[in-house]
């Protein structure tokens, strides 16, 4: 029996009842391909409903043709869309979950072009967007009327499809928020001038929706408690707007941030460097004055955290979206008290929002089934039980072993080191990356639940393979740091990131970090050393520090580098070194760049695979598969995915 009495307390909102206070918030999955709901999106959302979530809010649906902010946004502008929305509503309702849809217009926040051509963006006034460098066209009254009617028409379609309610997206600097913001809305007509004028657009949207839907249909609004930007809505301005709306809406959903700036956008999907539940104080302030339920979203990834928020009466519902991407069964597991079985989100942002920013379907580095439910949602039992030997206990090996055992194989995992986890054990030592170690904890639990036999400090060679006599061997032996060849003169200390993190090397006061991959390793190493008081120069082999990272992780890290006074040099490749200098070459110009008075050169220059067994296994004619970094050094996402994929096929 669960002890989460607040989390599993039902909540009545207008014409529907949430069975618990856990919400999957609206988030773009990039699963739809033509602007309509498809089978992949239905399967994705049904998995979360089956897992026990009380409320699902669909990803944004455009309410007008001018709302196409990406090439794959859902559109609710035509009755032809109703069939798709009905399919997801029916799938979700089968499991007792309530379904709302987000109604959306980005205003000036246009993220993508249409076939390479930039769309015309519209806003209350011609005030430019900093992040996307968009100069919008000021809305005229006839187009405002069309957009307002578009909200109501979209809501009518949602109701016809069987969806329970809608959420007006007035958060993150999108069109309704642009009307509310006195620094963006410079109008002197009825839609501007003072607080009531700036609220007029949102009031008209609410009224048009109410006029076109039944009385029991829920109408909520999502707002940013603060836009966390100099030109954005302040906390007081947001609070005032919510107070003026009163009970004209059925609930208020509170988040933080704005799409309009790089710094403000970090809060849209805050990375692990941000504190858990940090948005709660903004929701609590609104909750103290609100006459309607208050929802809150922002780094609430554990049921214990959500229970504490609710028990303190800071909010009525908690958005736990990434927690549900990582483990759709989290609500059910919490209900039955199986907290140790929950695959906790580590807020890496790599395959959820990271995929969206690249235009790829959503997934999760820990749970690659997410977004791939149609392919991996139900794994068949193995036709023949095999004796499977997994060599290597990093993320690839652990995932492969767990999945193979779940399918009925007899699986034994061998790890050469004393601890499982591979490079994840090092990743968690970097500043702001401690949660990354959660991937190890989660995978270890999967091994336990699947009944995998684990041998630590156990190296595998030909003799061991002969002794074990496996039917199949999965090689997941990982990688080691790659040290490139370059001219060296003198006695400059040259070390790799692994040695520094393991405490094997003590570096000097003046440090140059060479960051070949432009990922989190170079950034993390630079921060780690700067926090110890060292002078650090970060030389990046790309256009920016963190170029290969998810955007919000990169932008948060860029702020941290700046605060620490770390000098970043971009377009750099390592050329050579002498006793106290590092020689670089500008990748584009080819010109030399020299850094003098250097004590230590730290190499973050990638990895080389460790694969000593594949040739042996080929000679022995044993079925084998090389996965993860042993195949080619990449990231934890590829490692875990390949572990799943191979184990699903053997």
CATH of the domain at 448: 3.40.50.720
My answer on whether 307 and 428 are in the same domain is: no
pLDDT of the residue at 2: 57
Buried b (16+ CB within 10 A) or exposed e, 337-346: eebebbbbbb
Q: Give the pLDDT means over successive 10-residue stretches in the chain (650 positions).
A: 87 97 98 96 98 98 95 94 98 98 97 82 97 97 98 98 98 98 98 98 98 98 98 98 98 98 97 97 97 97 97 98 98 97 98 96 98 97 97 98 98 98 97 97 98 98 97 98 96 97 96 97 98 98 97 97 98 98 98 98 98 95 98 98 98
Angle at 431 between CA 428 and CA 436, to 5 degrees: 25
Is there a single domain that holds both residue 265 and residue 210?
A: yes
- pLDDT at residue 511 in the model: 98
Whether residue 263 contacts residue 229, with contact meaning beta carbons closer than 8 Å, is answered with yes
Residue 501 counted as domain residue: yes
Give me the residues paired with residue 255 across strands.
224
- The reply to whether 145 and 253 lie within a common domain is yes
Distance CA 243, CA 223 (A): 12
Whether the Cβ atoms of residue 305 and residue 277 lie closer than 8 Å to each other:
yes
Q: Which of 69, 174, 191, 282 is catalytic?
A: 174
pLDDT of residue 114: 73
Q: Are residues 432 and 542 in the same domain?
A: no
In terms of domains, do 142 and 180 share one?
yes
Domain range for 387 is: 379-481+609-649
Contact partners, residue 10, CB within 8 Å, separation at least 6? 17, 18, 19, 20
Of 1, 54, 3, which is closest to residue 24 (Cα–Cα)? 54
Are residues 597 and 640 located together in one domain of the fold? no
Domain shared by 288 and 219, yes or no: yes
Of 331, 351, 375, at which residue does a domain stop?
Answer: 375
Annotated catalytic residue 174: yes
Structural domain contains residue 487:
no
Q: How many CB atoms lie within 10 A of CB 621?
A: 7
Point out the domain boundary residue: 315, 343, 375: 375
Query: What CATH number should be reported for the domain holding residue 259?
Result: 3.20.20.70
For 172, left (φ over 0), alpha (ψ -120 to 50), or beta?
left
514 within a domain of the structure (yes/no): yes
Both tokens of 632, joined, read: 């080619």
Q: Are residues 244 and 98 in the same domain?
A: yes
Q: Could you please report the per-residue DSSP string of 132-165?
A: TTB-PEEPPHHHHHHHHHHHHHHHHHHHHTT--E
Domain match, 180 and 234 both? yes
Strands 410-414 and 453-455: parallel
Which alpha helices (DSSP H) does 469-602 contain, by range?
497-501, 520-531, 551-563
Q: Which two tokens stand for residue 161?
A: 């499809």
Is 277 a member of any domain? yes
1 domain-assigned: no
H/E segment holding residue 225: none
| CATH code of the domain covering residue 580 | 3.50.50.60
Domain count, the chain: 3
Q: Which of 35, 47, 25, 23 is nearest to 85 (CA)?
A: 35
In a domain, 5, yes or no: no
Q: Which residue has the tokens 């499982």?
A: 420
In this prediction, residue 473 carries a pLDDT of: 98
Helix (H) or strand (E) holding 102: strand 98-104
Whether 468 and 534 share a structural domain: no
Boundary-marking domain end, from 319, 344, 375: 375
What pLDDT was estimated at residue 118?
Answer: 87
C-alpha gyration radius of the chain: 26
DSSP string, 314-380: S-SEEE-HHHHHH-TTHHHHHHTT-GGG--------TTTHHHHHHT-----SS-TTTT-HHHHSSPP
In a domain, 119, yes or no: yes
Look at residue 2 and tell me if it is in a domain: no
User: Do 586 and 618 fall within a single domain?
Assistant: no
- Same domain as 204, residue 254: yes
Residue 590's CB is within 10 A of a number of other CB atoms, namely 8
Q: Indicate the helix (H) or strand (E) that contains 1.
A: none
What whole-number distance in Å separates Cα of residue 133 and Cα of residue 127?
A: 11
């Amino acid at each position: 029996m669960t002890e989460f009495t607040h989390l599993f307390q039902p909540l009545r909102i207008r014409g529907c009842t949430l069975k618990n206070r856990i919400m999957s918030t609206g988030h773009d999955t990039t699963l739809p391909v033509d602007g309509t709901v498809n089978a992949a999106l239905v399967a994705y959302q049904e998995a979360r409903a089956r897992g026990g979530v009380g409320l699902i809010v669909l990803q944004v649906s455009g309410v007008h043709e001018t709302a196409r902010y990406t090439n794959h946004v859902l559109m609710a502008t035509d009755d032809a869309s109703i069939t798709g929305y009905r399919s997801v509503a029916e799938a979700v309702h089968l499991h007792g979950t309530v379904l709302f849809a987000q109604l959306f217009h980005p205003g000036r926040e246009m993220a993508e072009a249409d076939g390479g051509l930039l769309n015309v963006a519209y806003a209350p006034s011609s005030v430019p967007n900093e992040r996307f460098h968009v100069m919008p066209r000021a809305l005229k009254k006839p187009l405002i009327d069309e957009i307002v009617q578009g909200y109501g028409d979209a809501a009518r379609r949602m109701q016809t499809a069987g969806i329970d309610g809608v959420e007006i997206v007035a958060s993150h600097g999108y069109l309704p928020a642009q009307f509310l913001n006195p620094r963006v809305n410079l109008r002197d007509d009825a839609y501007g001038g003072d607080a009531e004028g700036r609220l007029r657009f949102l009031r008209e949207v609410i009224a048009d929706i109410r006029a076109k839907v039944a009385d029991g249909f829920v109408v909520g609004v999502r707002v940013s408690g603060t836009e966390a930007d100099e030109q954005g809505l302040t906390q007081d301005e947001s609070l005032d707007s919510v107070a003026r709306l009163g009970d004209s809406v059925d609930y208020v959903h509170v988040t933080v941030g704005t799409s309009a700036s790089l710094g403000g956008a970090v809060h849209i999907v805050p990375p692990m460097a941000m504190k858990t539940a940090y948005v709660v104080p903004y929701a609590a302030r609104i909750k103290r004055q609100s006459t309607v339920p208050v929802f809150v979203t922002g780094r609430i990834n554990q049921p214990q955290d959500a229970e504490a928020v609710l028990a303190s009466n800071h909010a009525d519902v908690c958005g736990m979206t990434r927690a549900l991407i990582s483990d759709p069964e989290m609500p059910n597991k919490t209900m039955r008290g199986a907290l140790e079985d929950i695959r906790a989100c580590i807020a890496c942002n790599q395959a959820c929002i990271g995929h969206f920013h690249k235009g790829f379907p959503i997934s999760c580095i820990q749970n690659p089934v997410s977004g791939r439910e149609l392919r991996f949602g139900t794994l068949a039992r193995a036709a023949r039980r095999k004796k499977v030997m997994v060599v290597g206990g990093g993320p690839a090996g652990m995932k492969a072993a767990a999945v193979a055992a779940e399918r009925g194989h007899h699986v034994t995992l061998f790890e050469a080191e004393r601890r499982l986890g591979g490079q994840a054990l090092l990743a968690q030592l970097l500043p702001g990356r401690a949660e990354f170690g959660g991937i190890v904890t989660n995978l270890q639990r999967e091994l336990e639940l699947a009944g995998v036999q684990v041998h630590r400090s156990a190296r595998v060679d030909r003799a061991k393979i002969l002794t074990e006599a496996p039917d199949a061997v999965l090689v997941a032996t990982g990688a080691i740091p790659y040290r490139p060849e370059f001219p060296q003169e003198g006695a400059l200390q040259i070390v790799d990131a692994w040695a520094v993190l393991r405490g094997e090397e003590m570096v000097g006061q003046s440090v140059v970090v060479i960051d070949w991959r432009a990922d989190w390793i170079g950034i993390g190493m630079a921060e780690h050393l700067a926090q110890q008081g060292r002078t650090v120069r970060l030389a990046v082999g790309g256009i920016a520090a963190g170029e290969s990272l998810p955007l919000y992780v990169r932008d948060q890290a860029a702020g941290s580098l700046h605060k620490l006074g770390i000098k970043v040099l971009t377009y750099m490749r390592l050329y050579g070194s002498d006793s106290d200098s590092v020689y670089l070459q500008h990748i584009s110009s080819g010109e030399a760049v020299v850094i003098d008075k250097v004590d230590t050169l730290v190499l973050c220059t990638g990895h080389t695979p460790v694969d000593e067994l594949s040739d042996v296994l080929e000679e022995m004619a044993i079925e084998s598969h090389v996965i993860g970094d042993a195949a080619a050094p990449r990231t934890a996402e590829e490692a875990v995915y390949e572990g799943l994929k191979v184990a699903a096929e053997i």
